[in-house]
Amino acid sequence: MACGAPPWWTYPLILLVTLFAIPLAKAQTSAVRIAAVLSRTGRDSSAGSAALDAVQLAVDEANATGETPRIELEPYDDRSTDEGAREAARQVVAGDALVVVGGTTTSALASAPLLGEASIPSLLGYAQGAGGASNPTAFRLVFSAFEMGEAVANRLRYVLGTTHAVVIYHDNPFGRPNAEGFRNAAERLGIAATYHAFTTTAESVECARLAAAEPGQPAIVLIMLDTFAPPVLAELRRQGTKSLLIGTSPFARDDFADRFAQEPELRQDPGFYIDGVYAVSPLIIDSANADTVAFVARFRARFGGALPLPWQAAQSFDAARLAIAAARAATRQAAAPDVRTRRAAVLAYLRSLDSPAHAVASLTGPLWFTAERGRQQFARLGRFHGTLFESAPVQLVPVTVPTSAELASGAVVDLGLGRYARRQQVAYTGIFLNEIPRVNIDQSTFTADFYLWMRFVPRADADAADPADIDFPDLVKGDFDAKRSAEESDLNDGTTYRLWHLRGDFRNDFDLHHYPLDRQRLTLRLFNARAASDRVVYVQDRRSISADAGRVRSDGSEKGSGAAAAAPAQDDRGREDRIAAAAFRNLTQWEALSFVQRRDILVTESALGNPRLVGVAGIRELSGYRLDVELARRTLPAITKTLLPLGIMGLIMLGALFFPHRMATDKVTIVVTAALTGAVLLATVNSQLGTVGYTMAVEYVFYIFFLLCLLAIVEVAVAERLHAAKREMAAARTAHVTRGLFLVAMIGTAVAALVAVRHW
C-alpha cells in the first residue's frame, strides 16, 4: 500500500455515507418555514388560539398532498400586547421564515414596521387597521376599519331601512377610521347622523346617555372594541332606549355576553344587554358558503370544541393557505437559496394578485389585493337573539356584473366605487321528526313523517325569491305543496313563520358492504332549485334548540363538485326537542344512533354558460337543508336468522367427516344437502336486500361455506381412491388433514366475525 493512501474499506464507507447524505440534504432543503404571530394568551387568546389551530390545519393539509417544498410552522405568541408583538417580530426577523401570518390590528400595527424593515411579507387574517405606506410588506385579508364603517351605513340604509343615526365611537386608531367610513357612506346614502367621540369609560357612558336622549329614537351605531361595549350597552339599556343598536366586528361573537357576567340584570335575563343588537362581521358561520362549511367540518374533526367557530379562524385559514402558496411559488421561482431572495419572491407573488382577474379562491370569495394591499370584502350582518348570535334575516351579497334591469328595478343596489349588491334572504329552518315507520332496503326507500318550519322576511319586489319554494329531490311517494301550510303567522321580529306537515317515501342509498353488521344513514333533503344561494340561504333555527337537550344515543361534510356539502355548524345531534320519543318504535330490526339536521349546499363548479360568472366566481351554489338519521342493524337477530342455519349445517358437515369409510355415500348426501341449503339461504338474503352490485360481508361467509362443501367432496373422492389402492394410512391422513382444515376455517371465520363486530 502506498504511503499515506487511505485503507481500502474507506471507499465503500464514503459511498455509503454519500447515499444516505443526499436524501437527507434534499429533505433539509425541501422544507420552508412560515411564521404565525397570534395571541395565544391574554385578552385576545380566544380568537388567537382558534386562529392558530386553523393555520396548523392549513399546513397539515398542504403537507398531506405530498407537494414540495414541505411547510414548517413557527408559532409565536404576542401575548395580546404591543411589546409581545414586537418581541415576536424580532424573533421572526432573526429566523428564516419566508412569510408571517398575523392576527389583531394592534399586534399588526406594532409588528409590521419591524417586519417591513426586514422585507418580510405578512398576511393579516383579521387585522382591520394595518397596512398602508407605514407597513409596506403587510397584506390585509379582511376589510379595513374604514370599509367596516361604510358597511354599517350600507346595511342601515338598504337592509334595516334607517336614515337617522347616532354614532358613538372610540377616538383611537380603530374608531376614527370606522367613523370616517360611516360618515363617508352616510352622506352618499342620505343618512342624517350625529357623532359622539370618547376616550375614557366615563366619556363613553356619557355618550350613551346623550344617544339615548336623542328624539325620534334614531339607530345607535357603536364603534368600539368589546372592552368598552359593556358600560355603553348597560347605560343604553338602563336608559330604556328602544333604538336599533348596531356594532362593529368586535361584537360579532357568541361569547359576547360573557363581557357582562358581573352585571346584576343577567341573573334574570342573560340577554338583557345584547338581545336584538346587530353587528357586522366578515363571516358568520351559520350562513357561510360551501367552502367554509367544509372547512368547519374538517376543523371540528381535527380539534373538536364547540361551534360556531370565531370568524377569525376562517380568515386565518385563508391567510395560511395563501402564505403556503406564496412560499412554494417563491421557492420554485427563486433559484438562490438565501432567505432574502425568496422573501422578495413571496412579495412579488402577493403583489401579482392585483385584480379580480388574478384572484385566488378563498373561503370567503375571490381573494386579491388593492393598490394599498387591502382587500375588498363584503360584510355579513348578524343579530343577537338572547345571547345567541346568528345571521340577520336579510343580507347584502356582492354582484359582479349587474344588468341594467336589475339596477333599474332596485333588485341590485349601488354601494359606490363600482361595487354592487343584492339582498339575500336568510330562512331559519328546522325539522321535527315524528316517525320513521319503515326502512325498505330492497326498494332503496324509507318512510318518514315530520314537521318542517321556516322563519324568514318575505319580500314583495319582483326579483325576490320565495324561500318556501322548495323541492324534496328524493321524495318518491307523497306530495308537498308549499302553499298549503299547516300554520302561518307574522312574528314581532319582522319574520313570517310557516309550518308544514309531510309524510312520504324517500329514496335513499344504502351501503350494505358490512351487512349484517351495517349502519345506515337515512337522509331527508330539501333545496330551492329556482334560487341560488346568493338569493336564499337556509340556516338552522338554533333559537328553538334547548340548551340542555340530549341525544338519541351518540355519534355523528364537505364540499362536493355537483354534490351536496353538508354544514356541520350549529348542528343538532339528536336533540330531544327535534325528535318524537317513539319515532323509531316500529323499526324492530334497527337501533337509532344519532339524529342530525343541518344546512345542505349543492355545488356545481361551472358557470353553466353564464358569461358574467368567470374565474373563481364561476360556480353555482344551491342552498338547502337536510336531516340525517343514523341507524345500526340489530346484529344478533340478523345473524340468528341468516347465519345460524349455516353454522348448524357446517357442524353437521364436520360431523360427517368423522363417518367411517363405508358411509361415504351418506357423507356425499349430507354435503350436497348442505350446499343446496346454503344456496337457498344466500338467494333468500339477496332477495330481501334487492339488487346489490358488490360483495357483502355476509356473502364471504357463504363463500367460505361453499369452499368447505367442496373440501368435503374432494376429501371423499380422494379417500375413496386411496382405499381402492389399499393405502389405508394415506386415506387416514387425508381425513385428519381435512378435519383440521375444516375446524381452522370455521374458527377463523368466527374470529373474523367477532373482530368485525368490534370494529364496524
The answer to whether the CB of 193 falls within 8 A of the CB of 167 is: yes
Residue 568 banded pLDDT, cuts 50, 70, 90 = very low
In angstroms, the CA 519 to CA 512 distance is 8
Residues 346 and 121: beta-carbon distance below 8 Å? yes
C-alpha cell at 596: 342530525
Residue 252 has pLDDT above 60, yes or no: yes
User: Residue 276: its pLDDT value, please?
Assistant: 93
pLDDT value at residue 24:
44
Cell 307523497 sits on residue: 478
> How crowded is residue 305: how many other Cβ atoms within 10 Å of its Cβ?
11
Report how far apart, in Å, the C-alpha atoms of 461 and of each of 134, 162, 679 are.
47, 19, 66
The one-letter amino acid code at 76 reads Y
Return mean pLDDT, the chain.
86
In the block, cell 368589546 appears at 226
How does pLDDT run across 745-754, given as a tens digit for each residue? 999 998 998 8
Residue-wise pLDDT for 413-444, tens only, equals 998 888 899 999 999 999 999 999 999 998 99
Contacts of 6 (CB under 8 A, 6+ apart): none
| 521-554 tens-digit pLDDT | 999 999 997 888 889 999 999 887 643 333 443 3
C-alpha angle 339/343/346, rounded to 5°?
A: 140
In the predicted model, is pLDDT for residue 105 greater than 90? Answer: no
Q: What is the pLDDT of residue 613?
A: 57
Query: Strand pairing partners for 566?
Result: 600
Q: Which residue has the cell 402564505?
A: 323
Alpha carbons within 13 A on the beta-carbon side of 427: 32
Per-residue DSSP letter, 306: -
Sorted by sequence, the CB contacts under 8 Å of residue 668 that are 6+ apart come out as 713, 716
Interhelix angle 201-212/229-238, nearest 10 degrees = 30
pLDDT-based confidence at residue 604 (cuts at 50, 70, 90)? low
Question: Is residue 157 very low, low, confident or very high in pLDDT (cuts 50, 70, 90)?
Answer: very high
Q: Pick the range with the lowest mean pLDDT from 194-203, 447-456, 534-543, 636-645.
A: 636-645
Query: Could you tell me the three cell numbers for 62?
Result: 398542504
Closest Cα partner for 368 from 378, 356, 377, 383? 356
Q: What pLDDT is stored for residue 149 in this prediction? A: 95
| Residue 606: pLDDT over 70 | no
Per-residue pLDDT at 714: 94
At 382, phi and psi to the nearest 5? -115, 165
- C-alpha separations of 645 from 638, 674, 755 in Å: 12, 10, 21
**Residue range 81-87: average pLDDT?**
92
| Band of residue 755 on the pLDDT scale cut at 50, 70, 90 | confident
Spatial separation of the C-alpha atoms in residues 547 and 370, rounded to whole Å: 44
Total residues found in the chain within this entry = 760
45 CB burial (10 A radius; 0-12, 13-18, 19+): middle
Reference 456, options 399, 408, 528, 388; nearest CA is 528
Note whether 255 and 274 are within 8 A (CB): no
pLDDT at position 16 is 58
Q: Which amino acid is at 431?
A: I
Q: pLDDT tens-digit profile of 363-413? A: 888 899 998 899 988 899 999 998 889 999 999 998 888 888 888 888 889
Question: Using CA atoms, how far apart are residues 97 and 91, in angstroms rounded to an integer?
Answer: 10
Domains within the chain, CATH numbers bracketed: 28-143+294-351 (3.40.50.2300), 145-281 (3.40.50.2300), 422-633 (2.70.170.10), 636-759 (1.20.58.390)
Beta-strand (E) ranges in 162-289? 164-170, 192-198, 219-223, 245-247, 278-281
The predicted-structure confidence for 275-334, as pLDDT tens digits, reads as follows 999 999 999 988 988 888 889 989 988 988 665 688 899 999 999 999 999 999 988 876
Q: Check residue 404 and give its pLDDT.
A: 85
What pLDDT was estimated at residue 257? 83
User: Beta-carbon neighbour count of residue 472 at 10 Å?
Assistant: 19
